[in-house]
Structure 1
Amino acid sequence: MHTEWVCFRMDSFLLSRVTMKNLSFIWMAMLLMPAACIEIPDLAVPPETLPGSDAGTGPQEQEPIGIQWVSPVEGATVGSIVRFQIQLTGPAPDSVELLVDGTAVATLEEPFVLDWDTQSISEGPHAFVIRARQGVQEFLSTPRQLMTDRTKPRMVAQAPLNDASEVSSLATVEATFSEALDPTTVNEQSVQLMVETTRLEAAVLLSGDGRTLTLNPTSPLPVNQRVRVVIADTVADFAGNKLDSASLDWSWLVPTHLHLGAPLTAFPGRSHIESASYGMGADLRPIVAWTDAGEETLKVYVRRWSGSSWEALGTPMSSGRVTNAYQCALQVDVDGKLTVVWFENMNFKDYEWFVRRWNGQSFEPLGPTLTPVVQGASVMDWRLAQGAHPYLTLASLEAGDGWQRIYVRQWRDGTWGQLGAGIELRANSIVDSFSMDVDGQGYPLVVLREQIGGIPSNTAMRWTGTAWQDIGSTLSGRSTALSFDASNAPLVATLDTLTGKPRTLLQKWTGGAWEPWGGALEALPGVDSTTVASVKLDTQGRPVVALHGVTGNDLNRSGKGQVRRWNGTQWEALGGILNPSPGMIPYSRPMLGMVSDDEPLLTWIEMPPPVYSVGGRVHVYRLNH
């Protein structure tokens, strides 16, 4: 090594162990010091640090090692496994290590890519540094602050709920997650709306914060189907954590009908519902009356649909005697006047009907309490009708020793009056069907079927204004419901077996005979028998019927319903099959109502099996569309 002697003055500054990186700095220092003579060796000038290098600050007696981060980027969120990738410049290192919060945790081998398991550190923020060693020297990268997240995102809210049984065909499909999802993993392939193996077209949207997933179907969801959302296991959060497996699939039922408000009961969980009646107010909003008892006698309850919920009309009604209000019926006239009638008896005698009319604030008596026409007679059955006119009509099937008659009374001019003589039935006959309705003039029609020795015969008696006219000679089958068309022609729904198998027909009185109106109604699928439970006319005068099908004949029997309309050439379904709510069975036939735009409503009583169990409710259904 070549040596030069330089004289200058020296103090403790030059005794420092600080390495001079620059000769000009040394010469400047010598000029500023008192003279002295020392031996100065030739100094090699190390190369400048490469621009952009993350080289550390170790001893620089030789060319430094530059450390460049490739991945992950600063501030990234990493999961259970994180890939570290770096690039080195300068001489080859003896070793390269990963430091977490200052502690070496792993070694990187060439080509300096490491998939590292984060299980040894806690979740949350940490400082990551790469350290390269060469001999006694070490070089450090700039630190990278990374957020460690090993928790799988999970679904914390969903609409519809998983296994929901009553979902609108227009429902919004939405899920909220515990943390943001990576939007690059969410698309119409990774998130799909399905019915069995068929995919439903739907737009897949992820909210700005990444936590809310929305599916917008391009058309209403199919009814009477189970719809499900299927999420692929490629959907993950920003750390790469895949969804919790419980969040990958959820499903719900889209029924053909939805409840109109909550099912009706006065004693949730312990009600005993004996009967229900249904009518439409002048505002085309439904009204329901039913008899209900919890731990007391049966009373009559009335609710009216407000447009958003069922509101109570008046207080529960009964005679106040220690007996039950076994049956109830309601009627609403064209002016919107609501009348409720219920029936009581004491020990199968002392039969009485109580009539109450709604005055806008409460129910008040309408006339005196009614008793059988024949004193001491037994009441076997009864019907109430009114129609659009104000003439409330009550028909009672009364029986005594060796006789049976039907008496019809009508409320006119503030009093109850009997219409003609009693309609005589055959002695000891069995009445297996009994219907009554009134036409637009207030004239009633009574239709029934009797059997003696298994041989049936029909009776159809129409009030002419002065007497009863028998028009039943050509009526076939067992009547199940009746009504009138716009011209006051009677309509009777029947179930007959003239063709050797049951046929459900709607028959119309033409003035001289009963003739089918429309073809036979196709039976409901999967039932033992199908009958017409109700008949109405829509605003265009077309007949609309509520069908009732029964399955089984024991105490666990169930049933179905459906609405159909005659369009002039065939019976068309208005909605699909009505099934009872899960875990319930129908106790009554469906009652039909028509709201605005000829929208049908179906009402029946449902209860837990077996029949006659407590816990029944009145259910009002609308179409799901």
Structure 2
Amino acid sequence: MPNLKHLLLLSCLGLSPACIDVPPLEDPPKEDPADPDADFTFTATPAQEQVLPGGTLDCDVRLAWADTTGGAVTWSLVSPPAGIELQPFTLPKGETRATLSIRLGAGTEPGAYTLTLQGKSGTVTKQATVSVTVGKAGDLVVNWVVPTPGKAYTRGPLLLQFTVEGGAAEQVEILKDTTVLVKPTGSPYSFTWDTTSEAEGTYQLSIRATRGGAVFTSAPRTVIVDRTAPTVASFLPAKDAVTVGVRDSIQVTFSEPMNPLSVTEAAVGLKTGAGDAIAKSVALSADGQTLTVTPLSDLTAPSTVQVDLTAAAGALTDLAGNGVASAPAWSFSVPTWLPMGGAVSAVGGATSTESVVLKLDHDDRPILAWAESDGSSKNIYVSRWNGESWFMLGAPLSGFSAIGTNAATPTLAIDTAGEPVVAWGETTGNGDERTVFVRRWTGTTWESLPSPTPPSSLDTLFNPSLTITSDNTINLFTSLYDTAGYSIICYQHSNQAASWQQPWELHDDPYLFNPGAPVSTTSGGNIFVAATVFDDHTSKRNIAVYKGKEPYLGGTTLGNSSTTPSIGADSNGRPWVAWSEFDSAPQSDGQIFWARWEGSSWTAPVAVNTRATGNSTPSLALAKGGPHVLTWSGIIDSERSILVSQWSANSWQTMNAPLNALSAAGTPATAPSVALNSTAQPFVAWTEADASAASIYVVRINR
């Protein structure tokens, strides 16, 4: 009889537009003959749901390897009930399907059983359960051949086949819900149900066999009559979307599950804006409702991508065989930069942010620090990107509790635990007196570090700059005013220390006066500081760079009327510096210059090539294993924007169009801050103002 069932199954193929739930096709696993303990899964489907004592339960097993193909798999029953047995069966390596024959002894007790089938390959063991009902000796057992377990979908004729074992039945009926659909005769039993006159909906079919007044019933089968064409419910990216990532997939969601056998790569057209085909793969989700189109390589940025599903109309069908009536075609844009959320501001209403600083933690999550007024006090705010949005780290920061405080000029560094340390300057309310405050994030709250104490009670500290060395020592450089002049001093704090160590001053030089605006960086155990100084040799403020407590590097200052330095150290541990220069007032002719320390001297300062005017506030980030990045603010086509260049072929090369978050004219973008992640991909933050307030915007490179 099992052979008869197999013949009946084969005979039904191709005779009906109906479709049984079919699992999605999967890509073949990668071969790895060296892995005897490869992970796998399997399914077990019984050919019968009812068996008589002394009979055989045929069970179809299908194997799927998780990552790599393993060796042979041996199947057995775990603690089988009395009278039920499976001789150990081994599926040879390279095969993924077999039929197991589970024997039921003549004395097997009638009833419902759940059998545990186990597959073992190497040290990996997996299990699945199989349900079967054992009838009484002398009873009839009725089993479906088609439809198989699960839901059957049809829009027309549906072949119904079943078997009756254990003797001859006096009457056999196919029930549609509770009414008799037909009384077939003959064996094997077969009937083609024409559903075209049936209302669309779900039906329960069962078989009822009668003998000697006893009734024997099969397990039910669910049949869904569906003549409605599926539709496209939604798709992503949206039509005309402008913020699509280079690795984003295209997804189309349908109104109902689709037949995976109808899904082909040719059903979806994917092209560039110029009409060139983009290689892709297509896959249907487990529930059959979402089609995912994945480009085989990263999309080009910037570019336009066209998606065309018109070829899918009619060819792509639901499980009943109804074709998609119409399918969309649309396009979207892949930009050079992807926005990370929208405008960032801690205080609602028309309040302006300023002095934004961007750093990345050890998990490459961006962290921002900035100053913002709530209308009565100006505080420091710190926010971290969680992958989807910005969330504030703790409460607003201020060194004083009174209303009317004025916290400004934040500086930010990441400690060895990957948590932010922030410092800022704040007016005390006593004339021009200021104090520097430092806080360290513990993961849940801000920990107060001691405020650095100036050498004299008459001295004022301001403009802090933080950097943290590999031993987790916090280095805090601040400008100091002592009523006679300006200098820069360094405070250091380690994890074990309860207070700051005795501060030290940058090396004094008789020809350099009033250093200010310190910025700092570290490389290994070295600390580099860049500052503006008045150079008596040139009678102008230029840039001096110091290595720790040593005299300024090269014995020469950089630039000509230089301001706003930015500093970084390359993979060789040598500092690079960028700054802005202005020769006139108003500062419409500003240029960005840069220079690199060669070990014994500086390269000649060179202006960055740009068509922008009024260039100012550079921010420099040096990469290990990727191009360095330089950002600044400049005016192009009458609009102040953020300019970005990367180091390539021994020069700074412009990276695409300028950055502006707001499309309206008269919305200046200023004071950028750039940081690179562990794979040298740049992130840029800046402040951009509209007519009422200034907010922070952040983007990342689309790579």
| TM-score w.r.t. length of structure 1 | 0.58
Alignment of 1:255-294 (within 5 A): 255-259=335-339, 264-267=344-347, 272-281=352-361, 285-294=365-374
Compared CA separation, residues 166 and 347, structure 1 to 2 (3 A): farther
Instruction: Give distance in 2, aligned partners of 1:442 and 1:234.
Output: 62
Aligned to 1:507: 595
Contact 1:158/1:175 (<8 A) preserved: yes
Q: What are the superposed Cα offsets for residues 316-369 of structure 1, whole Å, 9 maximum, x if unpaired?
A: 221212223233112234565743112222497232221223345532332236
* Residue from 388, 398, 401 that aligns with 2:469: 388
Alignment of 1:103-182 (within 5 A): 155-178=232-255
Aligned to 1:9: none
Residue 341 (1) aligns with residue 423 (2): yes
Aligned to 1:365: 448
Q: What are the superposed Cα offsets for residues 434-483 of structure 1, whole Å, 9 maximum, x if unpaired?
A: 4432555565533326699x985424153663766783346567464223
Give the SS at the match of 2:603: strand
Question: CA shift at 1:159, angstroms?
Answer: 0.8
Amino acid at match of 1:366: L
* Largest Rg, 1 or 2: 1
Residue 218 (1) aligns with residue 296 (2): yes
Compared CA separation, residues 182 and 232, structure 1 to 2 (3 A): farther
Contact 1:583/1:608 (<8 A) preserved: no
Compared CA separation, residues 609 and 195, structure 1 to 2 (3 A): farther
Instruction: Give distance in 2, aligned partners of 1:487 and 1:233.
Output: 56
Instruction: Give distance in 2, aligned partners of 1:195 and 1:580.
Output: 25
Aligned to 2:127: none
Aligned to 2:406: 324
Q: What are the superposed Cα offsets for residues 566-592 of structure 1, whole Å, 9 maximum, x if unpaired?
A: 5xx535879766734454867443323
Question: CA shift at 1:239, angstroms?
Answer: 8.7
Give the SS at the match of 1:200: coil
Instruction: Give distance in 1, aligned partners of 2:612 and 2:415.
Output: 36
Amino acid at match of 2:475: L
Aligned to 1:36: none
Instruction: Give distance in 1, aligned partners of 2:593 and 2:407.
Output: 34
Contact 2:476/2:490 (<8 A) preserved: yes
Instruction: Give distance in 2, aligned partners of 1:421 and 1:205.
Output: 65
Question: CA shift at 1:391, angstroms?
Answer: 4.4
Instruction: Give distance in 1, aligned partners of 2:661 and 2:567.
Output: 28
Compared CA separation, residues 546 and 577, structure 1 to 2 (3 A): farther
Alignment of 1:196-595 (within 5 A): 196-203=273-280, 214-232=292-310, 235=313, 243=326, 248-259=328-339, 264-267=344-347, 272-281=352-361, 285-294=365-374, 297-304=377-384, 312-318=392-398, 319-322=400-403, 323-334=405-416, 338-345=420-427, 346=429, 349-368=432-451, 375=458, 382-388=463-469, 390-396=473-479, 398=481, 405-411=486-492, 414-415=499-500, 417-419=503-505, 434-440=517-523, 441=525, 443-448=527-532, 456-460=540-544, 462=546, 465=549, 471-473=555-557, 475=559, 478=562, 480-485=565-570, 489-494=574-579, 505-510=593-598, 513-516=601-604, 522-523=609-610, 527-528=612-613, 533-539=618-624, 544-552=628-636, 557-562=640-645, 564-565=646-647, 569-571=649-651, 579-581=659-661, 583=663, 587-595=669-677
Instruction: Give distance in 1, aligned partners of 2:255 and 2:672.
Output: 45
Contact 1:351/1:371 (<8 A) preserved: no
Contact 1:200/1:217 (<8 A) preserved: no
Compared CA separation, residues 593 and 421, structure 1 to 2 (3 A): closer
Give the alignment's Cα RMSD to 1 decimal. Answer: 5.2
| TM-score w.r.t. length of structure 2 | 0.52
Compared CA separation, residues 344 and 184, structure 1 to 2 (3 A): same
Amino acid at match of 1:406: S
Bigger shift: residues 488-497 or 248-257: 488-497
Contact 1:534/1:592 (<8 A) preserved: yes
Instruction: Give distance in 2, aligned partners of 1:280 and 1:591.
Output: 11
Sequence identity of aligned pairs in percent?
A: 21
Instruction: Give distance in 1, aligned partners of 2:451 and 2:259.
Output: 75
Instruction: Give distance in 2, aligned partners of 1:372 and 1:602.
Output: 38
Compared CA separation, residues 601 and 397, structure 1 to 2 (3 A): farther
Amino acid at match of 1:330: L
Question: CA shift at 1:160, angstroms?
Answer: 1.0
Q: What are the superposed Cα offsets for residues 96-118 of structure 1, whole Å, 9 maximum, x if unpaired?
A: xxxxxxxxxxxxxxxxxxxxxxx
Amino acid at match of 2:619: S
* Residue from 684, 692, 703 that aligns with 1:603: 684
Amino acid at match of 2:602: W
Alignment of 1:8-47 (within 5 A): none
Contact 1:176/1:211 (<8 A) preserved: yes
Give the SS at the match of 1:592: strand
Compared CA separation, residues 184 and 551, structure 1 to 2 (3 A): farther
Question: CA shift at 1:386, angstroms?
Answer: 1.9
Question: CA shift at 1:384, angstroms?
Answer: 0.4
Compared CA separation, residues 424 and 461, structure 1 to 2 (3 A): farther
